Structure formats: structure tokens, C-alpha cells
Chain A
Amino acid sequence: EVQLVESGGGLVQPGRSLRLSCTASGFAFGDYALSWVRQAPGMGLEWVGFIKSQIYGGTTQYAASVEGRFTISRDDSNSIAYLQMNSLKTEDTAVYYCTRVSHSVSTGYSEGDYWGQGTLVTVSS
């Protein structure tokens, strides 16, 4: 069974840092890209960023709202993806989800075939 479990959320002051983890099981983690998606309270879904599999270079992409502050990385030996969040702002308050990204020649990279349960990050003084 495919599982994604986020952890590391909590209350943090503006300007501080936090690192979220996404621990995967039930599939060949190293073969897949992963994305992070967030949802502010009462709001819609916002794509945060993406990391390819190491097979395809492990390259990353980010939303403009987090570019330069957030970094996605992966540890394939332990099946964990990370979201390092620096210089946090109050507007970063949200539930953060990691999602698996399926890939094929015909469909390209397609986020969201599996999701974690999410972890809440609250940025407040």
C-alpha cells in the first residue's frame, strides 16, 4: 500500500525556519518525482514545488511565492522528501501536503496520484 506521511509541522515565529519531512512507503521511492502542495485555512490548493527523481537529475521547481526561501530535497536511501522552509512569513500558514507524481511519456509529470495526510504549519508571533 502506498503511503506518504508528513511530519515536522508546528507553530513557528515569522522569520524562522522549519523543515518538513515526507516519509514514503509501499512503492519504489527513487523512481518517482514528488511535489509539495499547501492549503491555507479556508482557502484553495496552492502548488509549492517539485523534485524529480535522481534518475532524471533530481532537479527542482518552485512557486514564485516561495522561490529562494524554500528548498526541496530527497533522501532516496530512506525514502524521505524534505521541504526546508526559511524566512517564514505569516502567509505561509497552511496545511502542507506531499504528493507523489506519476510520469509517463504520454502524460508527462502528473501530480497527485497519492497524497499524505498533511501537516499544519502556523507562522505567528
Chain B
Amino acid sequence: DIQMTQSPSAMSASVGDRVTITCRASQDISNYLAWFQQKPGKVPKRLIYAASSLQSGVPSRFSGSGSGTEFTLTISSLQPEDFAIYYCLQQNSYPRTFGQGTKVEIK
């Protein structure tokens, strides 16, 4: 199975900060990666698919990049509603595997 490792596991940031979350795959997954946001008590929401394609309706401050084994989710200017847990998901092969999550908290 492909292992997905996210870093950091948690971080504190302020409104307006640029935030970067990294996801590393244990083997080449091309660009078959998605990013999800989950707020407490809520359903996960897909932000990015195919590593860099922005899901319809998602603000443009979110962007994804990378291919192969290293991927990045960037929030260009953190907003109050962005405090949440972020997960990556490899969609290259089965079984699919999620990263362990990155909790973005208010500094």
C-alpha cells in the first residue's frame, strides 16, 4: 500500500499568513492526489484534485502543486474560516490512502 505522510501534523498561524502543508507519498503517484478540508463536526470538503485543479466554488487562495512523491497545499492568505484539518488522499492506486491530517489552529 502507498503511505501518505503529511507535515506538519499541526500548526498555528495568524489571519493573513501564507500557509503551506506538505504531503509525501511512499511511491510515485503521478498527479493523482486530492486535498480535503474538514471543520469540526462537518463533512470533509474537496479543495483540490489532480494535484493542482481547484474544485469549483473553492476560493482561489487555495492552490495545490507537486507530482510524483511530493505535494503541497498552499493557502495564500489565511482567513478565519480556514482553521480546520486538512487531509491529502492518493488516488493513484487501490487501496486509497489518506494522510494523517494537518490541523491548522489560530495563533
Contact = CB atoms under 8 A, between A and B. Distances in A.
A1 interface: no
Contact of B36 (A46, A109, A112): A112
B84 to A, nearest CB: 13
Contacts of B32: 107-108, 110
| Chain A contact residues, majority secondary structure | strand
A11 B87 CA distance: 28
Contact of A45 (B44, B53, B55): B44
Interface in B93-107: 94-101
Interface in A73-122: 97, 102, 106-113, 115-118
A118 to B, nearest CB: 6
B34 A62 contact: no
B89 interface: yes
Interface residues of B, number: 26
Contacts of B101: 44-45
Interface in B36-66: 36, 38, 43-46, 49-50, 53, 55
A50 B36 contact: no
A98 B87 CA distance: 17
A110 B34 contact: yes
Contacts of B94: 50, 61
A47 B96 contact: yes
A35 interface: yes
A116 B43 contact: yes
Given A47-B95, A110-B50, 12 more contacts: A35-B96, A45-B98, A50-B94, A50-B96, A97-B44, A107-B32, A108-B92, A109-B91, A112-B34, A116-B43, A117-B43, A118-B43
